[in-house]
Structure 1
Amino acid sequence: MELVRMKCGFENGIDVGAVGTKGGLSLGRKGNSLVSLKSFSSYHIDVEIHDQECGEVWRLTGFYKNLEERCREGSWELLKHLSHDQIIPWVVVEDFNEITNSFEKKSGRLRSERQMDAFRSTLEFCNLNDLGFIGRWFTWERGRFAHTNIRERLDRGVATLEWMNLFPSFQVEYLSHSFSDHCPFFLTL
């Protein structure tokens, strides 16, 4: 993960390595704001940012949902647990490996309404709102041929209203992917 972060031009950051070929998180940053690590695991990096540009303290969590079916509920419990420490503006970004509605998926097996509802309920419990995006609609893709191609919006940014008000000009952009089946996620404040 460190090599990828460095190639993207981010000398400073925090990396959590992949487990085999799955997962891996990297939080790269530019600027001279103080970043304090709150917690991390194979599925999240949680930091507090003392932002020198706006003079505020806010929270950023990079999140990766466990792909194993038996551990899915544990991912939502982790996010709910992290939300208990929601005293400052908070943004959560990255790979939730879930969609909120069926229109966020093209082709392939239908997603269960129960799965999507669990994701929506978790976001609501945590007071997190979708940040929207520019760029590609689908952030994950598999299959090179039209009859086998599946696309989904698995990656996203969500935030509390306090964070959205702190950075009213924020922008989420999904970039083209080359070496991964997920699009890189770029958040501009």
Structure 2
Amino acid sequence: MVIGDFNIVTKLSERRGGRFPCKIVMNEFVEFINANALLDLTTVGMRFSWTSRRSGDKRMIQKIDRVLVNQNWLNSSGVWKSRINKRKFSGHSPVVGSLGV
């Protein structure tokens, strides 16, 4: 399992506002995920994990925080989910993992 702020999206739909993400960096991150047979389990809760905390046309939101696991992790841990919770103090939302539904 790898949990973190990867500071890049995997696809354009994971970002709203701001300039387009660097395609080279985005493709390298997707290649890293695929080459290591990782799966993104951060699919429950909020859609975006980071905000620029600005409003209007200066606002940007992205899914840059995530939980990546391999198939062995899933096989040994049962039903694993991770959730992007609502942010309170930071521009980042807490990402929390748990067993079960």
- Give the SS at the match of 1:134: strand
Distance 2:4 2:35 in 1: 18
State the Cα distance separating 1:157 from its structure 2 match. Answer: 0.7
Distance 1:103 1:173 in 2: 18
State whether structure 2 residue 73 is matched by structure 1 residue 163.
yes
For residues 54-73 of structure 1, the aligned pairs below 5 Å read: none
What is the number of equivalent residue pairs in this alignment?
A: 99
> Which residue among 172, 179, 186 is the counterpart of 2:82?
172
Measured against aligned partners, the alpha-carbon deviations of 1:144-179 in whole angstroms (never above 9, x if no partner) come to 312211000000111111111222311101111122
> Which residue among 44, 48, 62 is the counterpart of 1:152?
62
Give the equivalent residue in structure 2 for 1:129: 39
User: As a proportion of its length, which structure holds more strand?
Assistant: 1
Amino acid at match of 2:56: A
Distance 2:53 2:65 in 1: 18
Unpaired segments ≥5 residues, structure 2: none
State the Cα distance separating 1:185 from its structure 2 match. Answer: 1.0
> Which residue among 80, 88, 95 is the counterpart of 1:185?
95
Structure showing greater Rg: 1
> Which residue among 89, 92, 99 is the counterpart of 2:2?
92
Measured against aligned partners, the alpha-carbon deviations of 1:37-77 in whole angstroms (never above 9, x if no partner) come to xxxxxxxxxxxxxxxxxxxxxxxxxxxxxxxxxxxxxxxxx
Unpaired segments ≥5 residues, structure 1: 1-90
User: CA RMSD for the aligned pairs?
Assistant: 1.2
Q: Using a 3 Å threshold, how does the CA distance of structure 1 residues 143 and 177 change in structure 2: closer, same or farther?
A: closer
Select the structure with the greater relative contact order (CA < 8 A; seq sep ≥ 6).
Answer: 2
4+ runs of 1 displaced by more than 6 Å? Answer: none
- Give the SS at the match of 1:133: strand
Distance 1:99 1:169 in 2: 25
